[in-house]
């Protein structure tokens, strides 16, 4: 195999992806993430020869990306709140909007030293683990209906040396006999009618059960309405992420179900209604 520099390999990959109408920027992303480089390191290495085994892996990554496989699944991890988290096809890829949900919780509960928190549908565990990392005195329970997802979340918690109470089960069933101070969830909220609008990489590779919900995507929020009263403390709080078109419907649903609570809608950085807070 002929020798090739990192820069030449990057040029080939960018051209290859452009020809196939894929994001050419992914070539640089995949190279840096695979080699755990920052941009400055990449620039310094561009003229250096690329070892054969590194080049072969990079080409394999590029071919997979061209077939719509998400870059995070190719590399096997994604960063969330500054920490690296393992991701697999059994878990959703963490999104920036979920970082905003975590930031909202931390901001609104900054002075509370002792809370029992349950993260429902934990997936990779990013919400539960980040809250525990930044609020070590909080007791954090992470629930998921998928054994495979919980396995990934447990690995992520162990890699950060954090003690999370992981439980297998549907919604709040695993904590039905307990009282909690804070419930957080980023549940499936995409309507099955929106299938055609989804990116091809999402449709092919991300777990459908973690994405789609019945009744125009509102199914899980309706189920939460029935389960929350038996586990939430009197002065407890609830935080949800939802689709940007669902805010009004969910706000009305929860205000009707919990008339003594204050139901607030928060926007994401793009200006879309994205998060519900009940307190």
Query: Residues comprising the binding site for S-adenosyl-L-methionine?
Result: 121-125, 144, 186
Q: Which residues pair with 83 in a beta bridge?
A: 80
For the chain, state the CA radius of gyration: 21
Annotated binding site: 121-125, 144, 186-189
DSSP 49: B
Asked whether 253 and 226 are in contact (CB, 8 A), the reply is no
SS3 assignment, position 162 = coil
Instruction: Kindly report the number of other CB atoms within 10 A of residue 205's CB atom.
Output: 17
Annotated binding site for substrate: 186-189
Phi, psi (degrees; rounded to nearest 5) at 18 = -60, -45
Which of 249, 259, 198, 196 is closest to 219 using CA atoms? 249
Please give the Cα distance from 210 to 48 (Å, whole number): 43
DSSP 153: H
Which of 258, 224, 255, 256 is closest to 241 using CA atoms? 224
SS3 assignment, position 181 = strand
Asked whether 91 and 63 are in contact (CB, 8 A), the reply is no
Q: Which stretches of 36-146 are DSSP H helices?
A: 39-45, 52-66, 71-75, 96-108, 126-134
Phi, psi (degrees; rounded to nearest 5) at 69 = -70, 130
SS3 assignment, position 270 = coil
């Amino acid at each position: 195999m002929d020798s090739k520099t990192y820069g030449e390999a990057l040029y080939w990959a960018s051209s290859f992806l452009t020809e196939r109408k894929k994001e050419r920027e992914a070539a640089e992303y995949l190279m840096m993430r695979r080699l755990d480089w920052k941009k400055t390191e990449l620039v310094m290495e561009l003229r250096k020869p690329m070892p054969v085994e590194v080049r072969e892996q990079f080409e394999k990554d590029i071919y997979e990306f061209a077939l719509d496989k998400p870059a995070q699944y190719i590399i096997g991890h994604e960063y969330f709140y500054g920490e690296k988290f393992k991701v697999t096809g059994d878990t959703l890829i963490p999104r920036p909007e979920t970082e905003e949900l975590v930031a909202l919780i931390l901001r609104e509960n900054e002075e509370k030293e002792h809370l029992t928190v349950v993260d429902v549908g934990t997936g990779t565990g990013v919400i539960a683990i980040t809250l525990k990392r930044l609020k070590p005195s909080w007791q954090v329970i992470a629930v998921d209906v998928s054994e495979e997802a919980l396995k990934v979340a447990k690995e992520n918690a162990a890699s950060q040396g954090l003690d999370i109470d992981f439980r297998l089960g549907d919604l709040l069933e695993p904590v039905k006999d307990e009282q909690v101070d804070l419930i957080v969830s980023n549940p499936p909220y995409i309507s099955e009618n929106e299938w055609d609008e989804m990116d091809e990489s999402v449709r092919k590779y991300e777990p459908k059960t973690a994405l789609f919900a019945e009744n125009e995507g509102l199914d899980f929020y309706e189920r939460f309405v029935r389960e929350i009263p038996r586990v939430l403390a009197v002065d407890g709080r609830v935080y949800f992420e939802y689709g940007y078109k669902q805010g009004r419907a969910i706000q009305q649903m929860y205000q009707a179900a919990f008339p003594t609570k204050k139901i607030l809608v928060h926007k994401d950085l793009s200006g879309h209604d994205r998060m519900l807070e009940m307190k």
